[in-house]
Structure 1
Amino acid sequence: MGGSWGFIIAFALILAAWTGWNTLVKAKGLNFDPYPFIFLNLVLSTVAALQAPVIMMSQNRSSARDRKAAEHDYVLNLRAELEIMLLHDKLDAVREVELVRLVKQQGEMLKLLRAQLRELKAETEALVDEVKPAVRLGRRGARPAGAGRKRG
């Protein structure tokens, strides 16, 4: 209750009642703490002296709790960082395997393309060899063999 609104309101009411009583009943002689309110100052000083260590202990507990929370957060962040590093390593390994697979596929495709290129070159040379005699004959008016057929 030392830092709640209930305490603050109750403390303010007690102070108002204390000073009000000692001021209003001064003429009748019923006041127990005349105007400079020395006894009230003593009571307030005692309350402050008792509250100071309580506040300090509360702050120490709070800082200890904050230290534990910070240490927990540090450990949690460290674990998360290690997990992320592990995931990066796994991704790098997967990329490396995929890259090796792609390079192999590219090599196979290049072999196929080279084979097709050799076949095309051979076909082209065969056609050229087939057309050369016909072209020589064509100068004399003869048609090359298969010249009138469409290829499909």
Structure 2
Amino acid sequence: MDSNEIDKILNREKEHLSKLQKIVDDTIREEQLIVNNLLNPPKEVLSRGQEISDKVALFGGSWKFIILFAVILTVWIIINATLPEKDRFDPYPFILMNLILSTIAALQAPIIMMSQNRQEEKDRMRSENDYLINLKAEMEIRSLHQKIDLLLEDQIKTLFDTQAKQFTLLEEINSKLENHLKKQA
């Protein structure tokens, strides 16, 4: 090999490495935005009302609440059914108890809805993060495809160059063989 061929090979390797470096740099730059968003999600700032609605919804949707509520209602009914009539504060049909239950339901329902709306917003943000993670994976796969394509392109070019050199060598050998056969004949 002469120095010209060596220079060509070295230049080709430099081009190949610079293409790979460009792919890596582009991938890092594209992924940096996604990584920053995933590592530094926006802080959730809750108002006092939102904190209260979350606590009410958490307690109102628990077994502790159901059992406590059932115990209070049972005690209420037993007291108002067993006390002498003049001492009953809510005689049968328990109108005061129905009024209190209706008021609790009327207040609890919108509070729970507020909490569910906030939870829906959290779920939406979680799905956006999932989307960003999927996008990052897709970008990584695209980068790998580009690298593989570049490697295959380089290998095919090398194979063609090698094949061309072999063909040239075969032609030289063939012409030398013909010359040698002519000299012998």
Please classify the TM superposition score into its range, dividing by the shorter chain length.
0.7 to 0.9
| Residue equivalent to 2:161 | 104
Correspondence 1:42-53 to 2 at 5 A: 42-53=99-110
User: CA deviation digits over 1:68-120, x for unaligned, max 9?
Assistant: 11222222322332232222222212211111111001111122223333344
1:48 alignment partner, SS class: helix
Tell me if 1:92 matches 2:149. Answer: yes
| Residue equivalent to 1:3 | 61
- Report the identity percentage: 47
| Residue equivalent to 1:115 | 172
| Residue equivalent to 1:147 | none
Q: 2:82 aligns with which of 17, 24, 27?
A: 24
Cα distance in 1 for partners of 2:151, 2:139 equals 18
Of the structure 1 ranges 34-43 and 80-89, higher mean CA displacement relative to structure 2 is found in 80-89
Cα distance in 2 for partners of 1:102, 1:33 equals 97
Higher helix content, 1 or 2: 2
Cα distance in 2 for partners of 1:125, 1:50 equals 112
2:60 alignment partner, SS class: coil
1:36 alignment partner, SS class: coil
Of the structure 1 ranges 54-63 and 1-10, higher mean CA displacement relative to structure 2 is found in 1-10
How many pairs were matched up?
126
User: CA deviation digits over 1:23-80, x for unaligned, max 9?
Assistant: 222xx22322122111111010011011112101111110111111122222232233
Looking at both structures, which has the greater relative contact order when contacts are Cα pairs under 8 Å and sequence separation is at least 6?
2
TM-score, normalised by the number of residues in structure 2 = 0.61
RMSD: 1.9
Q: Which has the larger radius of gyration?
A: 1
Cα distance in 2 for partners of 1:100, 1:11 equals 79
